[in-house]
């Protein structure tokens, strides 16, 4: 019944998140421990070594099927070695090898389903979908839920490269976007739909995949959440308008609603009853992830005139205060939430801090030297090494490399 309280009075819960945000301090937090230069250097050497090993392995990918079985076995051993021993994130501190193996197999099954359902997706789009599914998989761990691959979570994770990319596509007219959203709404409301193209048809199939996993009552809850997500996405289109500048309050409303509902849907797929504390935590964590995404996209959003909390003021001080509030906000909602698996919750907290720090380093032109120097104390590797790594990730966007990576992916997950 708790979830249905959200449908009846969602403003109450969304306002609770906003109140938490306003109470968060904008001074630099004092709850981080410095990472020593020796540790940074050790992590850097490990990262360089692991990256070199993977690059050599990718370059040795056999052009012909002969030899690919042995190549796959070696690649999987490299992957396991990293997951069992890496020194930067430390997943192995909270998950034992058999659990890590199950986690990898679940992600591989996700990618098999992706390649079967939408072979036309780029490697980058697949990466986006996988990241979405990993968020759901992490929530399962928070609740000590051990079920395997989830088709409903697959359908939801795949909606992002479909719906978000379409809505964000500047080549699509507002009328086309409205028609696309209308067919999604009709499908969720149980009305007859008549897709006009393969893209619309596949979007409807993803929605059907979600519905098919639940009995009537649970399906109703899923559809209501997805309708709220659709409403939030339509509302967020206002951020792209250069003619209608948004106030700070309006930008916050969009981020809280879109980010919060997005993550709450992931929580819905976890096979544990949703309590009121879950509503507050997951809406809040979703808001955090939305702002973390906006932090990564400061440059692009600024150039395109998109209205987020980070583009409201070009002054470095403003952005630094928003980052400070973001860190305080995250710390508080995590501290307030009693999870079934507190150890994994703390792992997610540490990974979230790293996400913020690395995003600041990746958008360094928007922050003062003093602030970057402060962030440097908490980066697990020196910032120049981090910048090189982030730059190497951008290079993978090359279309020729993307095709090669898709071939490699098919061999690995087969």
How much is the pLDDT for 402?
Answer: 83
How much is the pLDDT for 397?
Answer: 65
Domains of the chain: 2-413 (1.10.600)
What is the distance between the alpha carbons of residues 408 and 345, in angstroms, rounded to a whole number? 33
Reduced to 3 states (helix: H, G, I; strand: E, B; else coil), residue 67 is coil
Residue 89 DSSP symbol: S
What is the distance between the alpha carbons of residues 149 and 136, in angstroms, rounded to a whole number? 11
Cα 15 to the center of its chain, rounded Å? 23
Can you give the pLDDT of all 414 residues of the chain as single tens digits? 577 777 788 899 999 999 999 999 999 999 999 999 999 999 999 999 999 999 999 999 998 999 999 999 999 999 999 999 999 999 999 999 999 999 999 999 999 999 999 999 988 899 999 999 999 999 999 999 998 999 999 999 999 888 877 776 777 777 888 888 899 999 999 999 999 888 899 999 999 999 999 888 788 889 999 999 999 988 887 777 776 778 888 899 999 999 999 999 999 999 898 999 999 999 999 999 999 999 999 998 888 888 889 998 888 999 999 999 999 999 999 999 999 999 999 999 999 999 999 999 989 999 999 999 999 999 999 988 887 777 666 656 677 788 889 999 999 998
CB 281 within 8 A of CB 336: yes
Reduced to 3 states (helix: H, G, I; strand: E, B; else coil), residue 63 is coil
- Tell the burial category of 357 from Cβ atoms under 10 Å away from its Cβ (0-12, 13-18, 19+): buried
What is the distance between the alpha carbons of residues 234 and 238, in angstroms, rounded to a whole number? 8
CB 412 within 8 A of CB 69: no
Phi, psi at 29, each rounded to 5°: -65, 155
Residue 119 DSSP symbol: T
CB 175 within 8 A of CB 135: no
Number of C-beta neighbours around residue 244 at 10 A = 10
How much is the pLDDT for 174?
Answer: 76
What is the distance between the alpha carbons of residues 363 and 308, in angstroms, rounded to a whole number? 15
What is the distance between the alpha carbons of residues 407 and 63, in angstroms, rounded to a whole number? 10
Phi, psi at 377, each rounded to 5°: -60, -20
What is the distance between the alpha carbons of residues 157 and 150, in angstroms, rounded to a whole number? 11
Closest residue by Cα to residue 259 from 278, 242, 236, 237: 236
How much is the pLDDT for 56?
Answer: 95
Cα 237 to the center of its chain, rounded Å? 19
- Summarize the chain as % helix, strand, coil (round to 5): 75, 0, 25
Number of C-beta neighbours around residue 245 at 10 A = 12
What is the distance between the alpha carbons of residues 76 and 69, in angstroms, rounded to a whole number? 11
CB 319 within 8 A of CB 298: yes
How much is the pLDDT for 9?
Answer: 87
How much is the pLDDT for 310?
Answer: 92
- Tell the burial category of 214 from Cβ atoms under 10 Å away from its Cβ (0-12, 13-18, 19+): middle
Closest residue by Cα to residue 137 from 357, 341, 380: 341
Number of C-beta neighbours around residue 312 at 10 A = 16
């Amino acid at each position: 019944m708790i979830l249905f309280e959200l449908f009846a009075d969602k403003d109450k819960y969304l306002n609770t998140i906003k109140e938490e945000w306003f109470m968060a301090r904008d001074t630099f937090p004092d709850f981080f421990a410095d990472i020593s230069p020796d540790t940074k250097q050790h992590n850097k050497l490990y990262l360089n070594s692991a990256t070199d090993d993977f690059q050599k392995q990718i370059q040795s990918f056999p052009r012909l099927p002969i030899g690919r079985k042995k190549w796959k076995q070696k690649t999987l051993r490299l992957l396991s070695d990293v997951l069992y021993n890496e020194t930067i994130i430390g997943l192995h501190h909270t998950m034992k090898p058999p659990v890590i193996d199950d986690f990898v197999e679940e992600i591989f099954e996700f990618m098999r389903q992706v390649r079967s359902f939408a072979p036309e997706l780029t490697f980058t789009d697949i990466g986006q979908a996988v990241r979405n599914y990993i968020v759901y998989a992490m929530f399962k761990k928070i609740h000590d839920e051990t079920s395997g691959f989830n088709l409903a979570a697959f359908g939801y994770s795949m909606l992002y490269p479909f719906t978000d990319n379409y809505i964000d596509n500047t080549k699509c007219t507002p009328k086309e976007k409205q028609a696309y959203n209308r067919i999604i709404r009709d499908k969720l409301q149980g009305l007859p739909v008549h897709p006009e193209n393969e893209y619309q048809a596949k979007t409807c199939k993803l929605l059907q995949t979600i519905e098919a996993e639940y009995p009537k009552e649970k399906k109703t809850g899923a559809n209501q959440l997805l309708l709220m997500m659709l409403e939030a996405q339509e509302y967020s289109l206002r951020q792209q308008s250069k003619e209608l500048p948004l106030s700070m309050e309006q930008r916050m409303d969009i981020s809280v609603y879109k980010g919060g509902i997005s993550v709450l849907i992931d929580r819905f797929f976890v096979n544990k009853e949703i309590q009121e504390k879950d509503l507050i935590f997951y809406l809040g964590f979703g808001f955090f992830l939305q702002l973390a995404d906006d932090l990564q996209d400061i440059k692009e959003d600024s150039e395109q005139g998109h209205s987020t909390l980070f583009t409201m003021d070009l002054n470095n001080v403003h952005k630094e205060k928003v980052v400070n509030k973001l860190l305080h906000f995250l710390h508080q909602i995590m501290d307030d939430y009693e999870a079934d698996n507190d150890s994994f919750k703390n792992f997610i907290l540490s990974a979230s801090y790293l996400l913020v720090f690395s995003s600041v380093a990746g958008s360094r032109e928007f922050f003062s030297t003093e602030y970057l120097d402060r962030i440097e104390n908490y980066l697990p590797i020196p910032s120049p090494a981090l910048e090189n790594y982030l730059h190497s990730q951008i290079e993978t966007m090359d279309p020729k490399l993307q095709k090669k990576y898709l071939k490699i992916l098919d061999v690995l997950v087969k």
